[in-house]
Amino acid sequence: SSWTMAGVGPWSPSPEGVAQILQLLRDSRTADNVQHQRIYHRLEDLKQHPEFNAYLSRIMSSRELEIDIRSRAGLMLKNNIRENYENMVPGGIESIQVEAMKSLGDESSIIRRTAGTIMATIAIKGPISGVAALIAAMCSVMKSQLNPNAMDGALNALTKICEDCSDELSRLEDMGENECIIVTQMIALLIATFFHSDERFRCMAITAMNRFLVNMPKALFLQMDSYLRGLFELARDPSPDVRRQLCNALCILLEIRFVLIKGSIIQIIEFMITASSDPDPGVCIDANEFWSIYCSNEECDLTLLYRYLPAILPVLLKGMLYSDDDPTVLAFSENDDNENVPDRPEDIRPRFHHSRVSMSAATDNLAHISDGNESDDDEDASEWNIRKCSASALDKLSTTFRNDILPILLPLLQTNLSNVSDWRVRECGILCLGAIAEGCLLGLEPHLPTLTPYMLQLLHHDPHPLIRSITCWTLSRYAGWIVRSSSLFEPILRALLDRILDRNKRVQEAACSSFAIILEDAGPVVIPYLSHIVQNLIVAFNKYQARNRPLLYDAIGSLADACGTDLGASIELVTPLVNRLIMQWNSTCNDDTAMFSLLECLTYVAQSLGSEFRPFAAGTLQRCLQIIQETLTALRAALAAGDRSVPYPDKEFIVCSLDLLSGLCEGLQTSIDELIGPPGSVNNQALLQSLYECANDSSPEVRQSAIALVGDLAKFAIEVLRPHLAQFIAMIVANLDPRYVAVCNNASWAIGEIASQLGPADLAPSVPIVLARIVPILTGPRVTPRLAENLSITVARLGLVCPNEVGASLELFVRPWCYHLGHYREDQEKVKAFKGLLAVCQSNPRAVLGAFAQFCGAIASWHQVPPELAPMFMNILHGFRASMDEAQWASVFLSCPAPVVANLHASYSL
């Protein structure tokens, strides 16, 4: 049959052309790699033919052909449209739409879905006017209701268009009356389909409507009553897919359109309580999101929700129970000793290293709920299941209602913990205790002296590994309280050390993680227990399989971090552990990803041991340089190849090695100079060359760690950098880029360290170059407060050495500079910074008068003025006062906020 392409005239596919394409598609089903390459290149050549897409669309709509061949043709057509829409021949899209419309009513659901995907791709790539025409066509098919297959195909296509083009659909109404009518009809049709007898249609309709809840079109506002009535009718829908989409709709409305559902919120809460224990897991998971969203929305009435907690909390506790068929439960039985079972390669979790931040960048870590382990042996760690979402919802409710939740929850908790017949119920109670730790600590404190000995008994004697592992995790949630408890800290520490040597690998994992968390809170308090700790960690080296060994390294790193420099004073105790660590390092290949955890651990050890790490220092430096150079060489080879024939190495090897070198600097301090050697020596040349290359790398993580090491070298071994200082300063200045905040922070800190080591003559030429990059960031609209404070400290460090050079452009940045220094935390760094501020301001007092309110605000920001600064503040303020008459002074001084005036008047007799 012939058909017409607009502007081309009647067109019929040649039988030879159809046969050729069909043969290629059929051959691709059974081809080996070599044949696949040949077929791929032939199809790529055919893409250049102007009629190729017309052939594909005709093949897709030819019902006599095999379904998989038609589907392959359709998917290839979709990709061609997506990649090359702009270059398609005139009339090509219209002809494809004709064939796709035929396929929307095909007997095969695969072909209907493929045709719908093509329609949605045309909508995405084409003009907005074309979207309106497509929607009108879909709505026309749906309204006719003559062919169920055609309606299914049209509704599926419409759902995909709504999903991919919701922004464009929101703008359609602004184009004209005809477009408004199309959108209004579409909304009405979708709402009407909520009541269709076919559950597939109901599900697609509500899914499509969910896409409009964020960018809500006027047509939906106008039909809101009928939309909400339709939603509430679906609350009793027998289809779990429909109920799941209903939960999604209500969660979206709760989060961003609460005013629309406020009047029905009681019915919605009651529905969500039922949905949270739905027989379908997907419905449960989506329903449980509702409680966290409700607690986070300031418009919602918490008093109302509190009334429902007696109904909500039992549902959440039930959701936190392991089910009988849970893969984790099936993998573990009582007394499951699996420590000697070798880990499979797929069991070993990927490792994510945190690049080094030399400036103390305080970040808030949101507490997250796990189920007692970083990952499960038999399920994807990222899988969001009923157990995890129920625990997360309980965590949110506890942090919202705090101790008020306990009168309702404690009796339920007591019932679970005292259950002797079902270990899963006890396990759920321990998980619950961990989930509410952050929100209810104050209210639980009177019970903890009883609960913690109970958990200790479980750690020592419970036969089920999942009980022992969840108990480790729950104890870690109370780390702060445990450390403060003089009577319980030691027995809990010893119990965790015993569980580190558990015969079950999952318990080993949980115990190592819990031990590391408690060490973070304990700090030097653990030093008296070093002998026992080291003894058990050395035994763990011999027990652990590949999967858990990185957690052991984490625990050793946490121990070194907790002890700090005191670790070096106990060198005779820790030497066997360090020797075992170095032995492990020496036996690990340079390209083994197990190296990441080892390098990170050694970083903490080198920092903490200080000069006691000297016997290992030379080997550490050379090995790190070797790893960095090998990785850089492999990177250059991969880039030169330009294809995938040469694999790209993991840059994590570079990052971890740079961070260990920084740890070595902080440990050895000024002795690092001697280790690196004089200019021209092998180590010196290798270090500086690698460092410069890394600091110019495309990866922000590599640059971040490289610049941190430059800062450490400036601090402890400036002579290493001195011959190449101009190059390194230029490189650091180039990394003052606020798009990469962590890199920018490190670059700012490194400049400050260099400034502190140089005299005015050496530093002065670089000051204008540095300020030219810092000032636009400091005065820009989007700088983060933390970055602005760090940059301000750096400017002050420059000013302390070169006040005149910094003061020359003071009027450009004095306001934000004073503001951010005023907000910096009160420590020795701020004291030094204010000395720099005062030196610069004295070099250019005129610029200060233009921002006198901010300058005075900075001085008044001190809650406890350091004795060394007080006379300096007195002198400069009285100097300003003496430089003008009383009227001028009154005008300038009274321009400051009243609290600042009062503060300075009282403190400095102004």
- pLDDT tens for 853-867 read 999 999 999 999 999
Tokens of 762: 């050496």
Query: Distance of CA 798 to CAs 180, 827, 859, Å?
Result: 62, 18, 19
CB-based burial of residue 360 (10 Å sphere; 0-12 exposed, 13-18 middle, 19+ buried)? exposed
Quick one: pLDDT at residue 320? 96
CA pair distance 292, 393, nearest whole angstrom: 6
Mean pLDDT throughout 688-692? Answer: 95
CA pair distance 791, 821, nearest whole angstrom: 9
673 backbone dihedrals φ, ψ, rounded to 5°: -55, -50
For the chain, the domains span: 235-334+383-445
CA pair distance 760, 741, nearest whole angstrom: 29
CB 607 within 8 A of CB 563: no
CB 317 within 8 A of CB 416: yes
In DSSP notation, 410-465 reads HHHHHHHHT--S-HHHHHHHHHHHHHTHHHHHHHHTTTHHHHHHHHHHHHHH-S-H
313 CB neighbour count, 10 Å cutoff? 20
Residue with more model confidence, 43 or 714: 714
Q: With b meaning 16 or more CB within 10 Å and e meaning fewer, what string describes 453-466?
A: eebbebbeebebbb
pLDDT digits (tens, 9 = 90+) for 271-309: 999 999 999 999 999 999 999 999 999 999 999 999 999
C-alpha Rg value of the chain to the nearest Å: 34
Quick one: pLDDT at residue 359? 34
pLDDT over threshold 50, residue 513: yes
Mean pLDDT throughout 668-688? Answer: 94
pLDDT tier at 96, thresholds 50, 70, 90: confident
Averaged pLDDT of the chain: 89
Residues pairing with 5 in the sheet: 9
Quick one: pLDDT at residue 194? 95
Mean pLDDT throughout 538-562? Answer: 93
**Lowest-confidence pick of 101-110, 355-364, 617-626:** 355-364
pLDDT digits (tens, 9 = 90+) for 436-480: 999 999 999 999 999 999 999 999 999 999 999 999 999 999 999
Mean pLDDT throughout 347-365? Answer: 43
718 CB neighbour count, 10 Å cutoff? 17
Using N-to-C axis directions, what is the helix angle for 302-319 and 281-296, rounded to 10°? 150
Quick one: pLDDT at residue 124? 85
Tokens of 908: 């400095």
Three-state DSSP at 551 gives helix
Quick one: pLDDT at residue 481? 96
pLDDT digits (tens, 9 = 90+) for 133-171: 889 988 998 888 778 898 899 999 989 888 888 777 778
Quick one: pLDDT at residue 20? 84
Tokens of 792: 């301000």
Q: What's this model's pTM, rounded to 2 decimal places?
A: 0.80
Of all residues in the chain, the percent with pLDDT exceeding 70 is 93
Tokens of 517: 């968390």
Quick one: pLDDT at residue 591? 87
CA pair distance 332, 505, nearest whole angstrom: 11
10 backbone dihedrals φ, ψ, rounded to 5°: -55, 140
32 backbone dihedrals φ, ψ, rounded to 5°: -85, 180
Q: With b meaning 16 or more CB within 10 Å and e meaning fewer, what string describes 292-308?
A: bbbbeeeebeeeebbee
Residues pairing with 4 in the sheet: 10
Tokens of 313: 């909390």
Q: Which strand (E) or helix (H) includes residue 11?
A: strand 9-11
CA dihedral 552→553→555→561, nearest 10 degrees, is 170
pLDDT digits (tens, 9 = 90+) for 198-231: 999 999 999 999 989 988 888 999 999 999 999 9
Mean pLDDT throughout 600-629? Answer: 95
Query: Distance of CA 442 to CAs 143, 402, 475, Å?
Result: 61, 9, 16
CA pair distance 904, 907, nearest whole angstrom: 5
Residues across the chain:
910
Helix runs in 642-779, H state only: 652-668, 672-676, 682-695, 700-716, 718-721, 725-734, 741-757, 760-763, 767-778
367 CB neighbour count, 10 Å cutoff? 12
Q: Which strand (E) or helix (H) includes residue 9?
A: strand 9-11
Quick one: pLDDT at residue 335? 54
Non-local CB neighbours of 757 within 8 Å, separated by 6+ positions: 714, 715, 718
pLDDT tier at 130, thresholds 50, 70, 90: confident
pLDDT digits (tens, 9 = 90+) for 699-753: 999 999 999 999 999 999 999 999 999 999 999 999 999 999 999 999 999 999 9
Which residue in 354, 349, 388, 394 sits closest to 509, CA to CA?
349
Q: With b meaning 16 or more CB within 10 Å and e meaning fewer, what string describes 101-137?
A: bbbbbbeeeebbbbbbbbbbbbbbbbeeebbbebbeb
pLDDT over threshold 80, residue 337: no
pLDDT over threshold 70, residue 900: yes
Tokens of 395: 């965590």
Non-local CB neighbours of 392 within 8 Å, separated by 6+ positions: 288, 292, 368, 369, 435
114 backbone dihedrals φ, ψ, rounded to 5°: -65, -45
Residues pairing with 11 in the sheet: 3
pLDDT tier at 5, thresholds 50, 70, 90: very low
Tokens of 679: 């200019």
DSSP label at residue 803:
H
E strands, 338-409, are none
Quick one: pLDDT at residue 363? 24
In DSSP notation, 97-149 reads HHHHHHHHT-S-HHHHHHHHHHHHHHHHHS-HHHHHHHHHHHHHHHHH---HH
pLDDT tier at 640, thresholds 50, 70, 90: confident
Tokens of 883: 């430089």
Mean pLDDT throughout 679-700? Answer: 94
Q: Which long-range contacts (CB under 8 A, 24 or more apart) does 301-304 make?
A: 301/265, 302/400, 302/401, 304/265, 304/266, 304/269
Quick one: pLDDT at residue 334? 57
CATH 1.25.40.10 fits 235-334+383-445, yes or no: no
pLDDT tier at 329, thresholds 50, 70, 90: confident
Ramachandran quadrant class, 13 (left: phi over 0; alpha: psi -120 to 50; beta: rest): beta
pLDDT tier at 354, thresholds 50, 70, 90: low
414 CB neighbour count, 10 Å cutoff? 12
